[in-house]
Amino acid sequence: MKKVYLAILLLTATEGGFNTIFPPYLQQARYPVEQIGMIVALFAVLQLAARLPAGALYVGKAKPLFVAFVLLFIAGTGGFAYEGGTPYLIALTMAHGFAFGGIGTVMLAWAIELKPQNSTHGATMGWYTAALSAGYSIGNFCGGYLADSLGYALTFVVVGLVPSISILAGLTLPTPSVPLVPSVPSEAEPKRRRRMELRELQELISPNLALATLIAIYLNILDDGFATFFPLFALGTGLSLTFIGLLKSVKSLTATLLRPLAGGIFRYINFKTLNNLLIVTWAVVIVLLPSLRAEWMFFLVFITIGVCRGLLRVTSATMLAEEKAKETGGIGIASAVYNAGLDIGGFAGPLIAGYVASVTDIPTMFRVVPVALLATYLLAAVWVERAGVKRASMMRET
Protein backbone atom coordinates (compact mmCIF):
# COMPACT_ATOMS: atom_id res chain seq x y z
CA MET A 1 0.00 0.00 0.00
CA LYS A 2 2.88 2.37 0.62
CA LYS A 3 3.66 2.29 -3.09
CA VAL A 4 0.07 3.30 -3.88
CA TYR A 5 0.29 6.19 -1.43
CA LEU A 6 3.64 7.29 -2.85
CA ALA A 7 2.36 7.14 -6.42
CA ILE A 8 -0.77 9.17 -5.74
CA LEU A 9 1.25 11.73 -3.74
CA LEU A 10 3.65 12.26 -6.63
CA LEU A 11 0.82 12.52 -9.16
CA THR A 12 -1.23 15.02 -7.16
CA ALA A 13 1.93 17.00 -6.41
CA THR A 14 2.29 17.51 -10.15
CA GLU A 15 -1.40 18.36 -10.48
CA GLY A 16 -1.20 20.84 -7.61
CA GLY A 17 1.83 22.58 -9.06
CA PHE A 18 0.23 22.67 -12.49
CA ASN A 19 -3.05 24.09 -11.19
CA THR A 20 -1.22 26.89 -9.37
CA ILE A 21 0.58 28.24 -12.41
CA PHE A 22 -1.79 27.37 -15.27
CA PRO A 23 -4.24 30.32 -14.98
CA PRO A 24 -1.40 32.91 -14.70
CA TYR A 25 0.28 31.20 -17.65
CA LEU A 26 -2.91 31.63 -19.70
CA GLN A 27 -3.16 35.26 -18.63
CA GLN A 28 0.43 35.90 -19.68
CA ALA A 29 -0.44 34.32 -23.04
CA ARG A 30 -3.15 37.02 -23.32
CA TYR A 31 -6.23 34.84 -23.02
CA PRO A 32 -9.25 36.81 -21.69
CA VAL A 33 -10.78 35.70 -18.40
CA GLU A 34 -13.85 34.04 -19.95
CA GLN A 35 -11.60 31.90 -22.17
CA ILE A 36 -9.42 31.01 -19.17
CA GLY A 37 -12.56 29.74 -17.42
CA MET A 38 -13.58 27.68 -20.45
CA ILE A 39 -10.11 26.15 -20.85
CA VAL A 40 -9.86 25.20 -17.18
CA ALA A 41 -13.39 23.72 -17.30
CA LEU A 42 -12.17 21.30 -19.99
CA PHE A 43 -10.18 19.44 -17.32
CA ALA A 44 -13.33 18.35 -15.47
CA VAL A 45 -15.06 17.29 -18.70
CA LEU A 46 -12.15 15.13 -19.84
CA GLN A 47 -11.61 13.65 -16.38
CA LEU A 48 -15.22 12.51 -16.39
CA ALA A 49 -14.82 11.12 -19.91
CA ALA A 50 -11.87 8.97 -18.81
CA ARG A 51 -13.54 7.26 -15.86
CA LEU A 52 -15.72 4.64 -17.53
CA PRO A 53 -13.10 3.54 -20.10
CA ALA A 54 -10.46 3.29 -17.37
CA GLY A 55 -12.81 1.30 -15.17
CA ALA A 56 -13.83 -1.04 -17.96
CA LEU A 57 -10.20 -1.79 -18.87
CA TYR A 58 -9.00 -2.08 -15.27
CA VAL A 59 -8.99 -5.87 -14.92
CA GLY A 60 -6.06 -7.50 -16.66
CA LYS A 61 -4.79 -4.25 -18.12
CA ALA A 62 -4.30 -2.09 -15.02
CA LYS A 63 -0.50 -1.88 -15.20
CA PRO A 64 -0.14 -1.00 -18.89
CA LEU A 65 -3.18 1.26 -18.57
CA PHE A 66 -1.65 3.06 -15.61
CA VAL A 67 1.67 3.50 -17.42
CA ALA A 68 -0.11 4.80 -20.53
CA PHE A 69 -2.12 7.31 -18.50
CA VAL A 70 0.98 8.52 -16.64
CA LEU A 71 2.95 8.94 -19.87
CA LEU A 72 0.05 10.92 -21.35
CA PHE A 73 -0.06 12.96 -18.12
CA ILE A 74 3.66 13.73 -18.40
CA ALA A 75 3.25 14.80 -22.03
CA GLY A 76 0.12 16.80 -21.21
CA THR A 77 2.02 18.70 -18.51
CA GLY A 78 5.52 19.18 -19.85
CA GLY A 79 4.16 19.92 -23.31
CA PHE A 80 3.03 23.36 -22.16
CA ALA A 81 6.68 24.42 -22.18
CA TYR A 82 6.24 24.82 -25.93
CA GLU A 83 3.92 27.60 -27.13
CA GLY A 84 2.19 26.07 -30.11
CA GLY A 85 -0.90 28.24 -30.34
CA THR A 86 -4.49 27.74 -29.22
CA PRO A 87 -5.22 24.39 -30.97
CA TYR A 88 -2.05 22.93 -29.45
CA LEU A 89 -2.96 24.30 -26.00
CA ILE A 90 -6.50 22.88 -26.17
CA ALA A 91 -5.17 19.47 -27.24
CA LEU A 92 -2.72 19.41 -24.32
CA THR A 93 -5.43 20.54 -21.91
CA MET A 94 -7.67 17.67 -23.03
CA ALA A 95 -4.82 15.17 -22.80
CA HIS A 96 -3.90 16.36 -19.31
CA GLY A 97 -7.48 16.15 -18.03
CA PHE A 98 -8.18 12.75 -19.60
CA ALA A 99 -4.92 11.31 -18.24
CA PHE A 100 -5.53 12.57 -14.71
CA GLY A 101 -9.09 11.24 -14.71
CA GLY A 102 -7.86 7.81 -15.80
CA ILE A 103 -5.05 7.82 -13.24
CA GLY A 104 -7.45 8.63 -10.42
CA THR A 105 -9.79 5.81 -11.45
CA VAL A 106 -7.03 3.19 -11.57
CA MET A 107 -5.31 4.34 -8.38
CA LEU A 108 -8.51 4.36 -6.31
CA ALA A 109 -9.37 0.86 -7.51
CA TRP A 110 -5.88 -0.34 -6.66
CA ALA A 111 -6.10 1.19 -3.19
CA ILE A 112 -9.43 -0.54 -2.52
CA GLU A 113 -8.25 -3.92 -3.80
CA LEU A 114 -4.87 -3.91 -2.09
CA LYS A 115 -6.25 -3.06 1.35
CA PRO A 116 -4.24 -4.96 3.99
CA GLN A 117 -6.20 -7.71 5.75
CA ASN A 118 -5.49 -6.21 9.17
CA SER A 119 -6.81 -2.79 8.13
CA THR A 120 -10.29 -1.36 7.61
CA HIS A 121 -11.53 0.34 4.45
CA GLY A 122 -11.92 3.53 6.45
CA ALA A 123 -8.27 3.51 7.52
CA THR A 124 -7.11 2.68 4.00
CA MET A 125 -9.17 5.48 2.43
CA GLY A 126 -8.03 7.82 5.18
CA TRP A 127 -4.38 7.27 4.30
CA TYR A 128 -5.16 7.38 0.58
CA THR A 129 -6.96 10.73 0.75
CA ALA A 130 -4.27 12.06 3.10
CA ALA A 131 -1.58 11.16 0.55
CA LEU A 132 -3.68 12.79 -2.15
CA SER A 133 -4.11 16.04 -0.19
CA ALA A 134 -0.46 16.04 0.91
CA GLY A 135 0.57 15.84 -2.73
CA TYR A 136 -1.52 18.88 -3.57
CA SER A 137 -0.08 20.76 -0.60
CA ILE A 138 3.51 20.08 -1.70
CA GLY A 139 2.81 20.73 -5.36
CA ASN A 140 0.96 24.01 -4.84
CA PHE A 141 3.93 25.62 -3.09
CA CYS A 142 6.63 24.10 -5.30
CA GLY A 143 4.79 25.06 -8.49
CA GLY A 144 4.59 28.70 -7.48
CA TYR A 145 8.18 28.81 -6.25
CA LEU A 146 9.56 27.17 -9.39
CA ALA A 147 7.58 29.50 -11.66
CA ASP A 148 9.00 32.53 -9.87
CA SER A 149 12.52 31.09 -10.04
CA LEU A 150 12.61 29.33 -13.43
CA GLY A 151 9.71 30.76 -15.41
CA TYR A 152 6.68 28.89 -16.74
CA ALA A 153 8.34 26.78 -19.44
CA LEU A 154 10.95 25.10 -17.22
CA THR A 155 8.43 24.68 -14.41
CA PHE A 156 6.07 22.74 -16.69
CA VAL A 157 8.97 20.46 -17.62
CA VAL A 158 10.13 19.93 -14.02
CA VAL A 159 6.70 19.21 -12.51
CA GLY A 160 5.82 17.13 -15.54
CA LEU A 161 8.72 14.76 -14.93
CA VAL A 162 7.82 14.04 -11.29
CA PRO A 163 5.17 11.40 -12.17
CA SER A 164 7.80 9.28 -13.92
CA ILE A 165 8.79 8.00 -10.47
CA SER A 166 5.24 6.77 -9.93
CA ILE A 167 5.60 4.46 -12.95
CA LEU A 168 8.27 2.50 -11.08
CA ALA A 169 5.94 2.14 -8.09
CA GLY A 170 3.03 1.09 -10.29
CA LEU A 171 4.98 -1.59 -12.13
CA THR A 172 5.81 -3.34 -8.86
CA LEU A 173 2.19 -3.49 -7.62
CA PRO A 174 0.21 -6.76 -7.79
CA THR A 175 -1.96 -7.37 -10.85
CA PRO A 176 -5.58 -6.45 -10.02
CA SER A 177 -8.29 -9.09 -10.24
CA VAL A 178 -11.53 -7.38 -9.26
CA PRO A 179 -13.63 -5.60 -11.92
CA LEU A 180 -14.15 -1.89 -11.30
CA VAL A 181 -17.38 -1.86 -13.31
CA PRO A 182 -19.91 -4.65 -13.80
CA SER A 183 -19.80 -6.74 -16.93
CA VAL A 184 -22.21 -6.00 -19.76
CA PRO A 185 -25.35 -8.16 -19.53
CA SER A 186 -25.87 -10.80 -22.19
CA GLU A 187 -28.55 -10.40 -24.84
CA ALA A 188 -30.48 -13.26 -23.28
CA GLU A 189 -30.92 -11.42 -20.01
CA PRO A 190 -34.36 -9.88 -19.64
CA LYS A 191 -34.63 -6.22 -20.46
CA ARG A 192 -36.04 -5.50 -17.04
CA ARG A 193 -32.65 -6.42 -15.55
CA ARG A 194 -30.68 -4.27 -17.98
CA ARG A 195 -32.70 -1.12 -17.51
CA MET A 196 -33.77 0.58 -14.31
CA GLU A 197 -37.24 2.04 -14.43
CA LEU A 198 -37.62 5.75 -13.76
CA ARG A 199 -39.65 5.03 -10.65
CA GLU A 200 -36.91 2.85 -9.18
CA LEU A 201 -34.30 5.50 -9.92
CA GLN A 202 -36.40 8.12 -8.17
CA GLU A 203 -36.64 5.88 -5.12
CA LEU A 204 -32.85 5.50 -5.02
CA ILE A 205 -32.20 9.23 -5.33
CA SER A 206 -33.44 10.12 -1.87
CA PRO A 207 -33.62 13.66 -0.41
CA ASN A 208 -30.46 13.01 1.61
CA LEU A 209 -28.60 11.91 -1.51
CA ALA A 210 -29.94 14.93 -3.40
CA LEU A 211 -28.74 17.26 -0.62
CA ALA A 212 -25.31 15.61 -0.47
CA THR A 213 -24.99 15.97 -4.25
CA LEU A 214 -26.13 19.59 -4.05
CA ILE A 215 -23.37 20.26 -1.50
CA ALA A 216 -20.85 18.57 -3.81
CA ILE A 217 -21.91 20.83 -6.68
CA TYR A 218 -21.79 23.91 -4.43
CA LEU A 219 -18.33 23.30 -3.02
CA ASN A 220 -16.72 22.54 -6.38
CA ILE A 221 -18.33 25.49 -8.17
CA LEU A 222 -17.11 27.78 -5.42
CA ASP A 223 -13.68 26.17 -5.00
CA ASP A 224 -12.80 25.63 -8.66
CA GLY A 225 -14.08 29.03 -9.73
CA PHE A 226 -12.12 30.68 -6.92
CA ALA A 227 -8.97 28.62 -7.49
CA THR A 228 -8.91 29.49 -11.20
CA PHE A 229 -8.99 33.25 -10.77
CA PHE A 230 -7.40 33.92 -7.37
CA PRO A 231 -3.85 33.69 -8.80
CA LEU A 232 -4.74 36.38 -11.36
CA PHE A 233 -6.21 38.62 -8.65
CA ALA A 234 -3.28 38.01 -6.31
CA LEU A 235 -0.64 38.78 -8.94
CA GLY A 236 -2.46 42.05 -9.61
CA THR A 237 -2.13 43.00 -5.95
CA GLY A 238 1.63 42.36 -5.96
CA LEU A 239 1.75 38.87 -4.46
CA SER A 240 4.24 36.39 -5.94
CA LEU A 241 3.46 32.96 -7.34
CA THR A 242 5.54 31.51 -4.51
CA PHE A 243 3.24 33.11 -1.94
CA ILE A 244 0.14 32.08 -3.91
CA GLY A 245 1.39 28.49 -3.93
CA LEU A 246 2.05 28.68 -0.21
CA LEU A 247 -1.52 29.84 0.44
CA LYS A 248 -2.92 26.96 -1.59
CA SER A 249 -0.65 24.55 0.29
CA VAL A 250 -1.97 25.87 3.60
CA LYS A 251 -5.53 25.26 2.40
CA SER A 252 -4.78 21.68 1.34
CA LEU A 253 -2.84 20.95 4.52
CA THR A 254 -5.66 22.30 6.70
CA ALA A 255 -8.20 20.07 4.95
CA THR A 256 -5.87 17.07 5.25
CA LEU A 257 -5.35 17.50 9.00
CA LEU A 258 -9.03 18.09 9.77
CA ARG A 259 -10.59 15.14 7.94
CA PRO A 260 -9.39 12.45 10.37
CA LEU A 261 -10.76 14.57 13.24
CA ALA A 262 -14.23 14.96 11.74
CA GLY A 263 -15.70 12.05 13.74
CA GLY A 264 -14.72 13.72 17.01
CA ILE A 265 -16.08 17.09 15.87
CA PHE A 266 -19.45 15.50 15.05
CA ARG A 267 -19.76 14.40 18.69
CA TYR A 268 -20.09 18.04 19.76
CA ILE A 269 -21.98 19.55 16.81
CA ASN A 270 -24.48 17.87 14.52
CA PHE A 271 -22.94 17.46 11.08
CA LYS A 272 -26.02 18.91 9.34
CA THR A 273 -25.83 22.06 11.48
CA LEU A 274 -22.09 22.25 10.85
CA ASN A 275 -22.73 21.81 7.15
CA ASN A 276 -24.90 24.95 6.95
CA LEU A 277 -22.43 26.96 9.03
CA LEU A 278 -19.55 25.98 6.76
CA ILE A 279 -21.43 26.81 3.57
CA VAL A 280 -22.29 30.32 4.78
CA THR A 281 -18.80 30.93 6.20
CA TRP A 282 -17.09 29.92 2.96
CA ALA A 283 -19.21 32.33 0.91
CA VAL A 284 -18.61 35.19 3.36
CA VAL A 285 -14.81 34.91 3.39
CA ILE A 286 -14.62 34.93 -0.42
CA VAL A 287 -16.88 38.01 -0.56
CA LEU A 288 -14.51 39.76 1.87
CA LEU A 289 -11.32 38.65 0.12
CA PRO A 290 -11.08 41.44 -2.55
CA SER A 291 -10.89 44.02 0.25
CA LEU A 292 -7.87 42.37 1.89
CA ARG A 293 -4.23 43.28 1.31
CA ALA A 294 -2.27 42.12 4.39
CA GLU A 295 -0.57 38.75 3.94
CA TRP A 296 -1.70 37.42 7.33
CA MET A 297 -5.32 38.08 6.32
CA PHE A 298 -4.86 35.95 3.19
CA PHE A 299 -3.51 33.17 5.40
CA LEU A 300 -6.64 33.33 7.57
CA VAL A 301 -8.87 33.20 4.50
CA PHE A 302 -7.14 30.14 3.09
CA ILE A 303 -7.13 28.35 6.45
CA THR A 304 -10.87 29.04 6.69
CA ILE A 305 -11.45 27.74 3.15
CA GLY A 306 -9.42 24.64 4.00
CA VAL A 307 -11.60 24.04 7.06
CA CYS A 308 -14.79 24.54 5.05
CA ARG A 309 -13.82 22.37 2.11
CA GLY A 310 -12.25 19.64 4.22
CA LEU A 311 -15.25 19.26 6.52
CA LEU A 312 -17.90 19.77 3.81
CA ARG A 313 -16.53 16.78 1.94
CA VAL A 314 -16.93 14.79 5.15
CA THR A 315 -20.43 16.09 6.00
CA SER A 316 -21.77 15.43 2.51
CA ALA A 317 -20.17 11.98 2.38
CA THR A 318 -21.62 11.25 5.83
CA MET A 319 -25.11 12.05 4.52
CA LEU A 320 -24.58 9.53 1.76
CA ALA A 321 -23.11 6.90 4.10
CA GLU A 322 -25.93 7.26 6.64
CA GLU A 323 -28.54 6.96 3.93
CA LYS A 324 -27.05 3.78 2.51
CA ALA A 325 -26.40 2.33 5.95
CA LYS A 326 -30.19 2.02 6.19
CA GLU A 327 -30.57 0.45 2.77
CA THR A 328 -27.59 -0.68 0.71
CA GLY A 329 -29.58 -1.10 -2.51
CA GLY A 330 -28.38 1.21 -5.26
CA ILE A 331 -25.13 2.17 -3.54
CA GLY A 332 -23.37 2.18 -6.90
CA ILE A 333 -25.88 4.63 -8.34
CA ALA A 334 -25.71 6.75 -5.20
CA SER A 335 -21.92 6.95 -5.44
CA ALA A 336 -22.12 7.82 -9.15
CA VAL A 337 -24.68 10.57 -8.53
CA TYR A 338 -22.63 12.09 -5.72
CA ASN A 339 -19.38 12.06 -7.69
CA ALA A 340 -21.17 13.45 -10.73
CA GLY A 341 -22.05 16.42 -8.55
CA LEU A 342 -18.35 17.03 -7.93
CA ASP A 343 -17.67 16.83 -11.68
CA ILE A 344 -20.53 19.20 -12.50
CA GLY A 345 -19.19 21.70 -9.99
CA GLY A 346 -15.65 21.35 -11.32
CA PHE A 347 -16.91 22.06 -14.83
CA ALA A 348 -19.35 24.86 -14.00
CA GLY A 349 -17.17 26.76 -11.52
CA PRO A 350 -14.54 28.12 -13.92
CA LEU A 351 -17.18 28.80 -16.59
CA ILE A 352 -19.44 30.80 -14.29
CA ALA A 353 -16.56 32.67 -12.66
CA GLY A 354 -14.97 33.42 -16.04
CA TYR A 355 -18.20 34.76 -17.50
CA VAL A 356 -18.96 37.02 -14.53
CA ALA A 357 -15.36 38.26 -14.44
CA SER A 358 -15.50 39.09 -18.16
CA VAL A 359 -18.68 41.12 -17.69
CA THR A 360 -17.42 42.89 -14.54
CA ASP A 361 -13.93 42.16 -13.20
CA ILE A 362 -12.30 39.55 -10.96
CA PRO A 363 -12.80 41.38 -7.60
CA THR A 364 -16.48 41.96 -8.40
CA MET A 365 -16.83 38.33 -9.44
CA PHE A 366 -15.56 37.28 -6.00
CA ARG A 367 -18.32 39.36 -4.42
CA VAL A 368 -21.18 38.39 -6.75
CA VAL A 369 -20.76 34.66 -7.41
CA PRO A 370 -20.61 33.43 -3.75
CA VAL A 371 -23.75 35.41 -2.82
CA ALA A 372 -25.70 34.17 -5.85
CA LEU A 373 -24.47 30.62 -5.32
CA LEU A 374 -25.36 30.69 -1.61
CA ALA A 375 -28.87 31.97 -2.34
CA THR A 376 -29.36 29.29 -4.99
CA TYR A 377 -28.12 26.58 -2.65
CA LEU A 378 -30.37 27.67 0.22
CA LEU A 379 -33.46 27.73 -2.02
CA ALA A 380 -32.60 24.31 -3.42
CA ALA A 381 -31.91 22.93 0.07
CA VAL A 382 -35.34 24.13 1.29
CA TRP A 383 -36.96 22.46 -1.71
CA VAL A 384 -35.11 19.21 -1.03
CA GLU A 385 -36.13 19.34 2.65
CA ARG A 386 -39.79 19.80 1.73
CA ALA A 387 -39.55 17.00 -0.80
CA GLY A 388 -38.13 14.77 1.94
CA VAL A 389 -41.02 15.56 4.29
CA LYS A 390 -43.54 14.88 1.53
CA ARG A 391 -41.84 11.62 0.61
CA ALA A 392 -41.77 10.44 4.24
CA SER A 393 -45.47 11.23 4.58
CA MET A 394 -46.31 9.25 1.44
CA MET A 395 -44.27 6.28 2.66
CA ARG A 396 -46.12 6.28 5.99
CA GLU A 397 -49.47 6.29 4.19
CA THR A 398 -48.47 3.31 2.05
- Given this model, what pLDDT does residue 124 score? 64
Q: What is the pLDDT of residues 349-374, one digit of tens each?
A: 999 999 999 999 999 999 999 999 99
- Given this model, what pLDDT does residue 44 score? 85
Q: Structure pTM? A: 0.78
Q: What is the pLDDT of residues 33-66, one digit of tens each?
A: 989 999 999 998 898 888 778 877 776 677 888 8
- Given this model, what pLDDT does residue 276 score? 86
The stretches in the chain having pLDDT less than 70 are 59-60, 112, 114-126, 174-206, 262-263, 317-318, 320-336, 339, 388-389, 391-398
- Given this model, what pLDDT does residue 325 score? 46
Domains of the chain and CATH, by start:
1-181 (1.20.1250.20), 197-398 (1.20.1250.20)
Q: What is the pLDDT of residues 178-209, one digit of tens each?
A: 555 554 455 545 555 445 444 444 555 567 77
Computed over every residue of the chain, the mean pLDDT equals 82
Positive or negative CA dihedral for 19, 20, 25, 28?
positive
- Given this model, what pLDDT does residue 336 score? 59
